[in-house]
Amino acid sequence: MEEELRLSDGSVSAPSTCWLNPHTGFFGTIKNSPSDFVVTEISLCGCMVSDVHSESCRGAEETDQEPCVPFRKRLKKAEEIWDNVGSVESSSGCLSLGGSEGLEDSCSEATVKLAPGSALDSFLDVAVADSLERFARLVEAWITQEEGDGEGTVFSLGVFPDKSHRADIHRAVRQKYPFLKTLTIGAEILVKPDGNYSGLSRLLSRREAGDFLRFLDSRDKNSTFTFSPDGSKDHRKAVHHFVSKRFGKMVEAKSFPERGGDGGHQRAAITVRFRERFAFGKKRSADDCPEAPATYTAFTLRKENTETLDAIGILAAELGVVPSDFSYAGIKDKKAVSFQTVVVKNVTPRRLDVKKARLQSKGLKVYNIRLAPQHLRLGQLWGNHFNIVVRGVRKHQGDDPEASLSDRVLEAIHNVKEKGFVNFYGLQRFGLGQNVQADQIGLALLKEHLVQAVHLFFTPEEGNNPVNKAKRHFLLTGDVKATLALMPDYKTRERLMLRALNRYGTDQEGCAQAWLSIPHSMRLLYIHSYCSKVWNQAVSYRVKTYGLRPVEGDLVIAESAEASSSQNDRVHVVTAEDQKANLYSIDQIVLPMPGNSTQYPSNQLDQWYQETLARDGLKTCKFRLPALHLNIPGCYRRLLAHPQHLAWQWLGDGDVAPVSRDCHPVDECGAVSDSLSLTFSLRPSCYATECLREVMKSSV
């Protein structure tokens, strides 16, 4: 009777439901300690990253200065983003020049006098200007009387062939009439009501709403806008939500306490500034940054019993950058010792070298530090090398008592060497949580149930450690601020999301901002987890339905296609003639990951995919999530994978030295050793636990 492959904590490590080879296998446990599972990344050139012997800070002498980065947020903590702004004086809504330095005196001489009128008169004929004035008064009356804003009503200013002339008119109209917006069709300038004004005027005075829209139109990177101080937290939250929803890509806002209050109810004012990326755009001034090339520093990261994303969070906090400044080729196992290349942007080698000791005290080792030409991309590696110890090795219950354990091991290794294994996604793809797994969060995101996705993200596991305490407090009370105080500093993702929830609220829009607060790759991870679960189920269905030979309607990779061609161009649908002629092998079959750019097999699998997605509530899903800035094109994954350089050894007593594999242990009574060492290499996105499962024949 087959037994399960188990982790040292007793949990079952398996989503797979079918086997490729007929051997009997054996039983054992893995990951009894992190050192029992060592993962070493293999670079594109075929070198294991831990094989680089130079420990010097190469390239550190090449640059002692920090890179010129006026266009990036260089913040040690997200809370410090507005520290240089401080609190505000009691004032009405106004625009301040010169960034934070002019804020305290925001309504003094630094204030810009807005709403110019004479400039527009110089650009338009008197008759056109008069007609525009009447149109503007009509729109204003609609807004004042709350009879709508005249949406759909358009007024033409005429045709203006000169582009610079049109630009002047656009600016002048919007400055004089902030409740109007302009657009160009061909060379004709059209004017229509601005829905943003009517929305703002329900929250603010019409004057303040107009001044804020003029501020936005100015696009002055050095200016800020401060709304009138307000004693209502709910009202400030409503303003925050409106600004975030309508203008979040352009500006960012934060509330500051009013100075010199009367000691009663605390009042605060919302200050808005342009996001650096928006204010500067893609073009950079030579005056702002003479050189402006980004600095990329590569290094080898050794981590132990730590998630890759948590390790990145620790690195970011120590270096005073954000997690999205780091790039890596793939996420490594948590319950392991792993070595991988990481590249960080706008941090010099010398600066990283200084932090080595502090990082080591937090369980991370960085070495082989050097300059790199650019960032890394996910999948930019040859693969991974694994050195794994399986302990407690014995035969399956019910196995032939006459059979030798070593013969069982030898047979299993030989079969997997020759035929490979079913290329299932491993347990790591779905997370190690017992209550909620990553694929459940991904499904909620795909269904755009963003509030539910946040609740799933903050669902605690069993136990009473600080992280679980904080998550439990959030779900029980909904108190974001208190949860943030409870959440440990090293939980980067959780703290980023909590800060966003604290600022934008916990409704659908606030939760969208929370998901946007974490790096793009992290958001994508949850979506891919769900798609991987569907892929695993599809493979099991495919093997059980059609066996291990290509059939009509299967998808195969056309080996003759150009490597540079698109994935769909490389995929071929097996025809009846192909099947009859045995043109393709099982090694060439691929199955699609759900997405908006993949095709499905044209056999029973097509219906299976459609029914599965419909059952999960994704029948009409387009696999595009604009609210989360996510596009999921999908991909194709081979049904089978093959380990390379697969070798094994019995370990000696005390695991001090390996014993030759020719030295067979004694079975059942008085075995010389019950620990087995396996080493092999796999291509990217192939899982060692799935290879082990095929070797050991452990069932789910």
How large is the average pLDDT for residues 333-354? 94
How large is the average pLDDT for residues 391-409? 90
Which of 372, 392, 409 finishes a domain?
Answer: 372
Residues 224, 243: Cα–Cα separation, whole Å: 14
Which of 280, 304, 326 finishes a domain?
Answer: 280
Let me know if residue 491 belongs to a domain: no
Let me know if residue 610 belongs to a domain: yes
How large is the average pLDDT for residues 535-553? 95
Residues 235 and 113 in one domain: yes
pLDDT tens by residue, 600-650:
999 999 999 999 999 999 999 999 999 999 999 999 999 999 999 999 999
pLDDT score of 250: 84
Say which DSSP state 110 is in: T
* Cβ–Cβ < 8 Å for 245, 509: yes
User: Hey, is 7 helix, strand or coil?
Assistant: strand
pLDDT score of 636: 95
Residue 281, pLDDT > 80, answer: no
Domain range for 7 is: 1-44+383-423+673-700
Residue with tokens 């010389």: 672
Residue 16, pLDDT > 60, answer: no
Residue 219, pLDDT > 90, answer: no
Residues 367 and 414 in one domain: no
Residues 117 and 85 in one domain: yes
Residue 44, pLDDT > 80, answer: yes
**What is the pTM for the complete model shown?**
0.70
CA-wise closest residue to 694 among 369, 415, 437 = 415
pLDDT score of 353: 94
Let me know if residue 486 belongs to a domain: no
Total number of domains in the chain:
4
* Cβ–Cβ < 8 Å for 174, 130: no
Please write down the HEC assignment for all residues of 463-499.
CCCHHHHHHHHHHHHCCHHHHHHHCCCCCHHHHHHHH
Residues 241, 508: Cα–Cα separation, whole Å: 11
Residues 354 and 388 in one domain: no
The residues pairing with 566 across neighbouring beta strands, listed in sequence order, are none
Q: Mean pLDDT score of the chain, rounded to an integer?
A: 81
pLDDT tens by residue, 124-154:
888 888 888 888 888 888 777 765 555 667 8
Residue 8, pLDDT > 80, answer: no
Residues 126 and 260 in one domain: yes
Residues 321, 80: Cα–Cα separation, whole Å: 12
Q: Which two tokens stand for residue 59?
A: 């390239």
Residue with tokens 């909590």: 498
Residues 138 and 248 in one domain: yes
Residues 172, 124: Cα–Cα separation, whole Å: 10
pLDDT tens by residue, 456-500:
999 999 889 999 999 999 999 999 999 999 999 888 889 999 999
User: Hey, is 135 helix, strand or coil?
Assistant: helix
Residues 244 and 260 in one domain: yes
Let me know if residue 680 belongs to a domain: yes
Q: What Å distances lie between residue 590 and 360, 570, 587, 595, 692, CA to CA? A: 42, 11, 8, 15, 22
Residues 117 and 206 in one domain: yes
Residues 551 and 598 in one domain: yes
User: Hey, is 539 helix, strand or coil?
Assistant: helix
Residues 408 and 546 in one domain: no
pLDDT tens by residue, 559-615:
665 454 567 778 999 999 999 999 999 999 999 999 999 999 999 999 999 999 999
Let me know if residue 443 belongs to a domain: no
pLDDT score of 95: 52
CATH number at residue 62: 3.30.70.3160
Residues 336 and 356 in one domain: yes
Active centre residues (catalytic): 333
Q: What Å distances lie between residue 131 and 134, 182, 644, CA to CA? A: 5, 15, 78
The residues pairing with 679 across neighbouring beta strands, listed in sequence order, are 387, 647
Concatenated DSSP letters of 271-337: EEEE-HHHHH-S---TTT-SS-PPPEEEEEEEEES--HHHHHHHHHHHHT--GGGEEES-PPPSSSE
Residues 686, 637: Cα–Cα separation, whole Å: 10
Task: State the pLDDT confidence band at 200, using cuts at 50, 70 and 90.
Answer: confident
Residues 129 and 215 in one domain: yes
Let me know if residue 396 belongs to a domain: yes
Let me know if residue 364 belongs to a domain: yes
Q: What Å distances lie between residue 52 and 55, 378, 383, CA to CA? A: 8, 21, 17
Which of 621, 639, 657 finishes a domain?
Answer: 639
Let me know if residue 470 belongs to a domain: no
